Every structure is written in C-alpha cells, then in structure tokens.
Homo-oligomer: A and B are copies of this chain.
Amino acid sequence: MINTSRVNRILDKLSGLDLDQLLICDPTAIFYLTGKWIFPGERFMALILKRDGAPTLIVSELFRFDEEIGVNKIYFKDTDNIVPIVAGCLDERKHLGVDKNLAARFLLPMMEERIAVGFLNASIAVDMTRSVKDEIEREKMRQASIVNDKAMDKFKGLVKTGISELEVAGQMLDIYKSLGASGYSFDPIVAFGPNAADPHHMPDDTRLQEGDTVLFDVGCVLNDYCSDMTRTFFYKAEPDAEGKKVYELVKRANQEAEDMLKAGIPLCDVDAKARDIITEGGYGPNFTHRLGHFIGVETHEYGDVSAANKNLTEVGNTFSIEPGIYVPGGIGVRIEDLVLITEDGREVLNSYSKELEVIG
C-alpha cells in the first residue's frame, strides 16, 4: 500500500527543486513507496508522483496484479509505445524530475517528443527521504543486524585447518536462512591471511592455516532490510606485534567514530575522526576507502561517510562505520558495525564483540 507519509516527504523536497512532477523507475524506490516489489527486467516501469493527484504506476501487463495499493495503474503491452502513455500522466508545460537510473532508451524518446519542457535528475528528493528511516524501518534495521550478529557467531565456528574460503562461504546462506533471513544483502567476503589485505577480496580456493587472519564481511536481508558487518579474527594464534597494533588501531578508529555520533554532525568529521586515528598510528595510506555507506532496503544507499560529504547526520540515518588497514601481502583488518542516529545520540545495531579474538 502506498506510504503517504513517504510520498509527502518526497513531494516536499520536490518543492525545493521547483518541480511538481517526478518519474521514479527504480524498483527499490517503488517498493519503498508502495510495499510492492516489481522487477520488470528490461521493460519500462514508472511511478509518477505529482503534487496534484494520486500516484500512477505504469507497468507492463506481464506484471499485472489485482492487489489494491493506492495508486492508479496503467498497463501497457510490449507492442505499445510508452512515450504517449507517460505523456498522458504529465503536464507537458512543466519540468519533469526523472529517476537517476532512467535508461537512455526511455529518456531520449521522451525528450525528443518533448513530453515536458525540461528534464532534471531529481532522485535526490527520493534519496534524501530514504536516508531518514522512519520507525518501521528502524525496527527492521535492528532486527536484520540482530540476525547478522547471530550468524557471525556461527560463521566463526565453520573454520578449521585446510578449509577453503569458498567452502566456508558456501555454508553461509543456509545459516542465514536458518536464522530467518531471506538471503544475502551482498555476496559474503571471506578472506584468509594476506587476502584480508584486499578490501574487495572474493572468496577463492585459499585454504586456512594456523596463524592466519580470518576476515568476514557479511550481511543478510530480513524483511526487505539489509545488515552488513565485518569482524576480523585470528586463527589458532595471536597476531604478531604489528598485527596487534593494527587491530587495536582499527578497533579504536571504529569505536571513537561510533562514540562521537549524534544528529547534526558533518559526516566528513566522522570519517576524519577514524582516519586521523589510523593516520596518527602510521597507517593512513593503508586505509584506502571511505569510512562508511548508508544502508536500508539496499546495502549501498545514497549517502556516505567520507571526506567529501559535508552533510549533517540526521535522526533516522543508518550507515556503516568500517575503518580498515590493509598492508598489501601482509595484514588486513576491518571492523564494521551499522549505526542508527537517534534522538538521544546513536544506537550501534551490532553487538558482536570487537575484542581481539583467537578462534579455532
């Protein structure tokens, strides 16, 4: 059912862009607004929001559904030209805000036929609305991370000498499902030894040996919302002195960045807090990515925690805090939690221990 409060928050933001009409085509944004998942593949789909009048969903008749979701439905056939159908929903004397993801094969014909006086990427109105989770979403985010905490504990139990990263990763989906999740929020990263020093490592045939680092960067989807957490363990032996130093630096960067969180802080300052700690520890060049990303229905949503983002945190933001140090060919450590900005400060959505832990 259409979520009128979310629609109204978007329409408010459209005012700021001097727009009265918006075409949304991203299936995730349409789910966010209607509660209905439709994946039209290569076919056109649009939810049209207008200041005056109910939302209209334009979708292929192949995805026809009876359920009443509080929008006008317009179905088209594969042989129909969608341009006049869209035009029929618009005021051609006004500008049209379009989805950032609207494909050239749809946008160029609309521009040629001048179905609006101008076209503007207006996804910022949707993205900024989605970046502030409402109460229902906050609770779903909490629940997804609770499952992720439980899963991490089970993943830790999978390791044994000689097992490969792929063999460990191959058991994760069943574990998530046994905990009630519907699937991964992203393909899990399992990295042994020097592989942990590649932040985007994909599980391979590397086999676990005593003394290895064991990094899990994992997440699941529960009730349509994503979790995402990283923990770095050590297999059967404490790390060496450098390893310990790196671990404690990353842990402190994670902890102090989380501790400072509350509404109204520039996101770049949060990144700087963690980065400064790592830089002062001598590993600045080895922290090669931003501190975090926003998350919700999608694992990566609009907004990040980076030097470039001067925006202020708002109550309802959910994002990751994931500092890392990567020494190529050597040690790699990342520690990541999800956080929620609240009226009182923040909630850290993961409660899994961050103390240095030898496993196996």
- Give me the interface of A with B, judged by CB distance under 8 Å: 41-42, 62, 78-79, 98-105, 107-108, 119-121, 123, 200, 300, 306, 308
- A120: chain B residues at CB < 8 Å are 108
- A308: chain B residues at CB < 8 Å are 78-79
Selected from B41, B42, B101, the residue in CB contact (under 8 A) with A105 is B101
Copies in the complex: 2
- Are B300 and A41 in contact (CB-based, < 8 A)? yes
Given A42-B300, A108-B119, A108-B120, verify A101-B103 contact (CB < 8 Å): yes
- A101: chain B residues at CB < 8 Å are 103-105
CB of A206, distance to nearest CB on chain B (Å)? 18
Give the most central of A41, A100, A120: most B CB within 10 Å: A100
Whole-angstrom distance between the alpha carbons of A103 and B123 in the complex?
A: 12
Residue of B nearest to A304 (CB): B78
Given A79-B308, A308-B78, A308-B79, verify A121-B105 contact (CB < 8 Å): yes
- Are A103 and B105 in contact (CB-based, < 8 A)? no
- Since A102-B104, A105-B123, A108-B119 are in contact, a sample of 13 more A-B pairs with Cβ atoms closer than 8 Å, ordered by chain A residue number, is A42-B300, A62-B200, A78-B308, A98-B108, A99-B104, A100-B103, A100-B104, A101-B105, A103-B103, A104-B104, A104-B121, A105-B121, A107-B107
A-B contact pairs, 20 of them (CB 8 A): A41-B300, A42-B300, A62-B200, A98-B104, A99-B104, A100-B103, A100-B104, A100-B105, A101-B105, A102-B103, A102-B104, A103-B103, A103-B104, A104-B107, A104-B119, A105-B121, A105-B123, A107-B108, A108-B119, A108-B121
Whole-angstrom distance between the alpha carbons of A273 and B357 in the complex?
A: 67
- A123: chain B residues at CB < 8 Å are 105
CB of A37, distance to nearest CB on chain B (Å)? 11
CB of A232, distance to nearest CB on chain B (Å)? 21
CB of A291, distance to nearest CB on chain B (Å)? 13
- A78: chain B residues at CB < 8 Å are 306, 308
- Nearest first, the 10 closest Cβ-Cβ pairs linking A and B are A100-B105, A102-B104, A105-B121, A101-B103, A98-B104, A104-B107, A108-B121, A104-B121, A79-B308, A100-B104
